[in-house]
Structure 1
């Protein structure tokens, strides 16, 4: 069999397709393997360049494949599209990835370490909590306005004014509305606590990071 210089892998959840290229760009082989078989298939190959699209789980697989002695390149998906030939399918996608890598003009995406991915998870989760807090604060402000209770924009104003509005017996809020809005406000405050925890985690990470220092 022709020695493979580049293997393109089309990643999926359960079944992966591999497409190998030889020294002159000819096809060495094609394989379809289950998730559990991928590393077993690659450990049989002599060290070569393995190309993946930079997508979900690609950084994990890149680290695993590097540990087998292969060189790994993560390619931006939008740049791989130009190399796709014929109808889009798993084999053609894997071939496009391999040929895009061989072309050599696409700047690869740096492979993240597990620690770098930890930090990415931290920031993504914090962003989600922040968005939830903003959504609920806007919802509370809008619902109160339907009863003629106007609270200025801003998180600080909501924290300050909403408890006062719920306790004000002279405004137009009904008892049922007070009960419902109070429960949602409690949820809002829990998100505040959660966001404060994430903010503290970010501060602690920044203190330990040489680049931030």
Structure 2
């Protein structure tokens, strides 16, 4: 097989379907292999380009293939789907991956390092724990409301639960159940605090993460997630490409030469987009204390647009600034260059 051969892999848990083609796009082989067989196959193969969808296990396989001397590329599944011909099966999917990868304008996903994936797991675990903690608090509010006890909103009231239960006459069994739920809440809260400490320690040792913390209203959680998703930023041609990958640019439905821009596209990582919008809202709340061209731009926008629109626009701006810090190895300065990053 020539060095310019292109191989598409349809990933699975135990079996992998391979489709190989030459430079002209003609099919060379089709194989169904187990994981050990696939690694042995690529270990004996001359260097070539291997393409797969960016899904579960793809980054690990990509790192192994790169270590063997191959060029590994990952494609978002949404870009592969239009190239599936006829009925869907694993070999057709592998062929569609090759077809999509052969397009000169195709956009690829950079393989993540082990450190990036570990940090991503930490974020997903923390998000899950926060969801469970909120669920426990809402259950507590709901159960007490069934017995005529209305608690104020928020999580802070959970710390005074013992005194609240003492003030009201409730069934002994119910009090025990509520105490169990409260203990579960406290356990979740402690786990979240431990993850926050670990996140802060990892971020302190990361150069990019430390520089992202210099951005206004960006905390450790947002900075670390930005570092994971963006890497060095070289996979994006410009800052707008990164903002578009997060879903912070307008959707477009234009035809007949008439441009029609809609709301933000909401593509990419939902959690990262949510964090950037939250950072933008915090910045707007503290706008009286902000200085520089970015603050002047936000004040100007607020005079003519709704605050929700300005929040999304500012989140877009923060994403573009973050890309500039990563791509140019700089630090944020609230001066004239901040707006143009």
Category of TM-score, reference length = shorter chain: over 0.9
Q: TM-score, normalised by structure 2?
A: 0.60
Summarize the alignment of residues 93-132 of structure 1 with structure 2, pairs less than 5 Å apart. Answer: 93-132=93-132
Distance 2:108 2:30 in 1: 23
Instruction: Please list the CA deviations of residues 59-101 of structure 1 after superposition, one character each: whole Å capped at 9, or x if unmatched.
Output: 0000011111110100000000111111100110000001111
Distance 1:71 1:146 in 2: 61
C-alpha contact 1:43 1:68 (8 A) present in aligned 2: yes
C-alpha contact 1:16 1:35 (8 A) present in aligned 2: yes
Summarize the alignment of residues 172-183 of structure 1 with structure 2, pairs less than 5 Å apart. Answer: 172-183=169-180
The DSSP-based 3-state class of the residue aligned with 2:209 is: coil
Listed as ranges, the gaps of 5+ residues in structure 2 are: 211-341
C-alpha contact 1:9 1:18 (8 A) present in aligned 2: yes
Q: TM-score, normalised by structure 1?
A: 0.95
Partner residue in 2 for 1:165 = 164
C-alpha contact 1:126 1:195 (8 A) present in aligned 2: yes
Deviation of residue 158 (structure 1)?
2.1
Distance 1:192 1:9 in 2: 42
Equivalenced residues, count: 210
Q: Does 1:198 align with 2:215?
A: no
Deviation of residue 4 (structure 1)?
5.7
For the pair shown, the structure with the greater C-alpha radius of gyration is 1
Distance 1:88 1:4 in 2: 27
CA RMSD of aligned residues (A): 1.3
Listed as ranges, the gaps of 5+ residues in structure 1 are: none
Instruction: Please list the CA deviations of residues 143-188 of structure 1 after superposition, one character each: whole Å capped at 9, or x if unmatched.
Output: 011111111111112222x1112222xx241111101101111111
Distance 1:180 1:123 in 2: 31
The DSSP-based 3-state class of the residue aligned with 2:74 is: strand
Instruction: Please list the CA deviations of residues 119-156 of structure 1 after superposition, one character each: whole Å capped at 9, or x if unmatched.
Output: 00111101111100000000001101111111111111
Distance 1:189 1:130 in 2: 12
- Greater relative contact order: 1 or 2 (C-alpha under 8 angstroms, separation 6 or more)? 1
